[in-house]
Amino acid sequence: MALAPAAAADPRGATAGLAGNRLAGETSAYLRGAARQPVAWQPWGDEAFALARRLGRPILLDIGAAWCTWCHVMDAESYEDPAIAESINRAFVPVKVDRDARPDIDRRYQAAVSAAFGVSGWPLTVVLTPAGEVIFGGTYFPPTDRDGRAGLTTVLCVVAESWRDDPDTVLGRAAAIAAQVARAEAVGGAAVAPALRARVRAAILADYDFAHGGFPARTSAQFPRPVALRFLLRSVVERGDAEAREALVHTLDAMALGALRDHLGGGFHRYTVDRAWRVPHFEMLAATNAELLRLYLQAWQATGAPLYREVVEETLRFVRERLADPGGGFWSSLDADGADGVEGSPYTWRWAELARVLTPAELEVARAVWGLAEWPDRLPDQPDRNVLAVVGSLAPAARAVGPEAETRTLLDAARAKLRAARARRPPPATDRARYADASAAMITAWLEAGLVLDRAALRAFALRSLDRLLRETYRPGRGVSHRPAGAGAWTPGLLDDSVLTAEACLLAYQATRESRYLAIATDVVDTAHRLFWDAARGGFRDRAPVEGQGLLARPARPVQDAAVGGGNGAAAQVLLTLAAVTSEGRYREWAREALAALGGAVPTLGSLGGGYALALDLYLDPPAQVVVVGRGRESRTLDLWRRALAAFRPGKVVLLADAGGPPATDLPGLVREKLMLAGPEAGPTAYVCAGVVCSLPLREPGAMVDAIRTFGTREWTGGTR
């Protein structure tokens, strides 16, 4: 079915008016990959909207990503089809967007399509008025009608005919959708109090799946909720929350054992399509792995569970091998598809392949533990392929094969052989873009791992990556750009870019004692408050109030968790950390104002409100502060300081007061206080503070570590001063 021709205002049929596909010069590799398509794609910008107004046509907006399987499918089926492309070019102004490069565009149109049509995801397929208002939206469409689903040509034909024959009605529908979206996005405030925390906690736990773990709410899919889980972890540590402990441990185990995790190469896929964690979507994102690495590191610290330590080590290996840029920094993602264009092919196995690689005994153990079968019938359209997930224990296999120790040896051998065999397969494509938000999140996770595991190489690479990120994206007084400027002009980034970069700098300051990191964190936060704060409504906008086309012209105050960051929740967390480090009250007040402005919406978010919940928790029960006082170059002082950095307490800050250095006037107030309190001959001493109360002086590393874990919690039995 051909789309209706364009209005007679363009007698040449409008394809000439589009000036062809204009993506070849884009910085996004995903967009450049579409430059060969016959669709006359335009990049998002003023020119595309001006062209739509001049030609009097609707815009076809396609938002996708380099890692997105169904984006590739729709490209191949529809946008690479010359006949479909010609019809699109005659009736629309087609615009293509990389969601990783422009999360601000993606966030607004995902929310609009979700509010109006009840769907979201990638590819996002939206028809807009020339002003950028939504007319119609959905996700993947087959090229033609299939299995009761309308095809792209059908949908676009209907829209094009409606626009040609009755544009006023179409514009009226777009206005009604805009009003509906505005109502859905209306956010009220709430008092920042323990009662709000109780409601947010209840909303998170209401999403908990008692059967499988996780927080799928009303969906059939399982997305990891790492920030919500970090909130539950802090609730367990600070208040002994037994219900939170059950949901936390069950979910951590389910994600670690299921097919969300790559049991051969390490790391995590983005989500599973089923509640039982058996069928993954195979893309692997730096953002997802940064958040999960940090979660499992803290969970291992809290529990000592060997499984969680194994997850940490394997995720570090995966990131080092597949996402770490040797020059410093971290790449964005791995594609879900293999080099053959088949989703998941680098990760899945036919039975004949398994039998060829493994001995019969190894195959028997692998079958029992990973649920392998000749015809597993697990993956859509690939019923003969296995994906690894731990579905059994070694005990049944041991009964068939021999002693459990021998069985474990066989399983380890099977894992090593399969890993080696997979290494000979073409790897999935890597998107080597380095975005500030995801890179900063991974830097923080990597540095935290280096401190906790006492690995100099991890710390060094994290700091080298941070320094590169700052060189390429940070400008004093102007903020942080979303990606390195390269040869082009520096452009302001988004709220999450600034917030997550400041978070990495604050941890770097604690880990190195280099004041430049604190100065940069302070400047980034102050600049973000100036650029992004919504003075009329309170809270932070996701982008500076500059002119923008389409829905970008509308300010958004994000509070829902994203793959990385979470807008106002993440911002409030960083503000509270900065307040704890500097003793500057304005940062705590800014956090309170942000939490109050958006608190009314958070209980409706359920487990997607984890970032806000964690920030609220840190506001009501401020981060533990650890101050180590001693001569800064003395080995005992440095040992106490390093042990403090490695010790477990969610959200803690560690400060070093050099008793042997010159007087400093810019030290945080708490550090100055403890520096004056400690006598010059007292030797290295630590204080652990929670709120306005501090522990007695602690000089033994073991006692200090115990105090860091428990001071101010229900477990604390020591003294205070």
Residue found under tokens 């307040």: 579
List pLDDT tens digits, range 534-549: 999 999 999 998 878 9
* More confident site: 681 or 672: 672
Q: What is the pLDDT of residue 398?
A: 63
- For 164-221, how does the pLDDT look when each residue is reduced to its tens digit (9 = 90+)? 999 999 999 999 999 988 887 788 899 999 999 999 999 999 999 999 999 987 788 9
Residue 286 contacts residue 439 (beta carbons within 8 Å): yes
CA 517/CA 605 separation, integer angstroms = 34
Burial of 567 (0-12, 13-18, 19+ CB in 10 A): buried
> Which two structure tokens, joined as six digits, stand for 673?
């206080």
Specify the range with the lowest mean pLDDT, choosing from 143-157, 178-192, 315-329, 568-582: 178-192
- In which region does residue 636 sit, left (phi positive, over 0), alpha (psi from -120 to 50) or beta (all else)? alpha
Dig out the tokens for 361 from the structure.
């005994």
User: What's the confidence (pLDDT) of residue 576?
Assistant: 98
Average pLDDT score over residue span 101-113: 95
- pLDDT number for residue 497: 97
Give the percent of the chain with pLDDT over 70: 92
- Is the pLDDT at 680 greater than 60, yes or no? no
Segment 446-469 mean pLDDT: 98
Does the reported pTM lie above 0.75?
yes
Q: Strands 474-475, 479-480: parallel, antiparallel or unpaired by DSSP?
A: antiparallel
Instruction: Give me the mean pLDDT over the 141-164 stretch.
Output: 95
What count of other Cβ atoms lies within 10 Å of the Cβ of residue 423? 12
The enclosing H or E element of 125 equals strand 124-128
Average pLDDT, the chain: 91
Q: Which two tokens stand for residue 475?
A: 């400008």
CA dist list (Å): 619 to 384, 593, 613 = 52, 11, 10
**What per-residue confidence (pLDDT) applies to 293?**
98
- Write the DSSP symbol of residue 549: S
Write down all domains in the chain, each with its CATH number in brackets.
16-185 (3.40.30.10), 191-220+533-547+554-621 (no CATH), 625-710 (3.40.30)
What pLDDT, on the 0 to 100 scale, is given for residue 659?
A: 79
The tokens for 259 are 């097919």
Confidence of residue 7 (pLDDT cuts 50, 70, 90): very low
pLDDT tens, 641-666?
Answer: 999 999 999 999 999 988 776 555 55
Q: Does 716 score more than 80 pLDDT?
A: no
CA 172/CA 40 separation, integer angstroms: 28
The residue whose two tokens read 């009303």 is: 218
Please check the confidence at residue 463 and state whether its pLDDT lies above 80.
yes
Amino acid at the residue 436 = A
**More confident site: 695 or 455:** 455
